[in-house]
Amino acid sequence: SALPAESSPGGIRVNSIPKDGGNAMSGAIFVGGTDGDWQADNVDEALKARRIQSANGIAHIQNFNASLGGPIRKDRLWYFLTARHASSDETVANVEQITIAPDGELIRSILDQYIRDAGLRLTYQATSTQKVAGFFQRVWKRKGKDFGFGQDPRAATQRDPHRAHYGVGQAKFTSTLTSKILFEAGLSFLGLSDPNV
């Protein structure tokens, strides 16, 4: 499969070129989402005979993205900033979305979860042939409930976004030595807030 020397396992390879920003300030916004009303119901009589009254499904899906880039110093230093919120709330088979506990407590019986992140990339053109770039992204994850069919939602496990987050960073230097030789050096890291989460 023509594996390169720097990669030992097989599989798909992706070569991405990150955005650096530019001399003109620009940005983009993406907003998307849906709710469970768009989902088909595939619970037929055969499933109902097996006591399945409702299937797993989607309560809602949301995806909000924004990015902004531009110059800090024209022709020399640029920034590119991104932020995202993505959430998907799921329903569980045979569980009502809102139930009332024996003590009268209202329980939202949905697998509620989201991921939020923000990233910043700085690029510095030191000379016409040398460039330095740095990137950092912080990610927060939350899972309010984690339960399945036949389990009590009140006993569900949770993932706290204050503990379940991590950061990804990278620094890279490139230098065009000749018209045929490009030198690159880089460092990447992944920092976990709690490796047990």
CA distance 120 to 20: 10
Percent of the chain residues past pLDDT 90, beyond the cut: 39
CA distance 65 to 67: 7
Nearest to 138 by CA among 64, 94, 92, 191: 191
Over 90: is that where the pLDDT of 69 sits?
A: yes
User: Are 92 and 147 in contact, with CB atoms under 8 Å apart?
Assistant: yes
pTM of the complete model:
0.71
Render pLDDT for 142-153 as a digit per residue (tens, 0 to 9): 877 766 666 666
Q: How confident is the model at residue 196 (pLDDT cuts 50, 70, 90)?
A: low
pLDDT of amino acid 120: 95
CA distance 15 to 4: 13
The residue written with tokens 């990447």 in the block is 188
Per-position b or e across 38-48, b if 16+ CB within 10 A of its CB? eeeeeeeeeee
Render pLDDT for 75-134 as a digit per residue (tens, 0 to 9): 999 999 999 999 988 887 766 655 666 666 655 677 788 899 999 999 999 999 999 999
CA distance 119 to 69: 12
